[in-house]
Amino acid sequence: MNSDRFSLPIPAPDVLSERCPSRDVLRHMTSRWGTLVLIVLCHGTHRFSELKRNIGGVSERMLAQTLQQLEGDGLVLRVAHDVVPPHVEYSLTPLGQGAADRLRELAAWIEDNLPAFLPAQAA
């Protein structure tokens, strides 16, 4: 019902409005490395070093930072086994799975249509 004596009306989520929290979620999911991490994790659980190998060009610093952000958003689950050398596994939460599915579709579409982009890339 969203309106007792004390509550203000909550506007519907809308990425087009500046202050909507959905904007932040969108930015995290579409961040340079965030998108790629989520796509890789679609294929199942991975360790830090595996992610680094799979995602061409990512630095350790950026990978660690991105993973923390995604974990903070509840998209990625981090499980550390307390052994030496360290062994940490990253996977998608159910929420992350939903996010990653959409991103995978986007990436797949780009890959499928890449020829259509190439003429433009030339310029």
Binding-site ranges for DNA (CB under 7 A)? 31-33, 47-50, 57-62, 64-65, 67-68, 78, 80, 84-88
Instruction: Evaluate whether 38 touches 96 at the Cβ level (below 8 Å).
Output: yes
Q: Which does 16 bind (CB under 5 to 8 A by kind): DNA, its own copies, none?
A: its own copies
Which runs of consecutive H residues, i.e. helices, occur in the chain?
22-29, 34-41, 48-54, 60-72, 94-122
- Report if residue 79 touches its own copies, rule: CB under 8 A: no
CA dist 32 and 39 (Å) reads 12
Cα separations in angstroms, 10 against 13, 21, 30: 9, 12, 25
If one asks whether residue 109 binds its own copies (CB under 8 A), the answer comes out as yes
Q: Does position 60 bind its own copies by CB under 8 A? A: no
- 3-class DSSP state for residue 89? strand
The yes or no reply on residue 39 touching its own copies (CB under 8 A) is yes
Q: Which of 1, 16, 83, 84 binds its own copies (CB under 8 A)?
A: 16
Contact between 32 and its own copies by CB under 8 A: the answer reads: yes
CB of 81 to its own copies, least distance (A): 24
Instruction: Give whichever of 20 and 64 is closer to its own copies, judged by the CB atom.
Output: 20
The answer to whether 42 and 101 are in contact (CB under 8 A) is yes
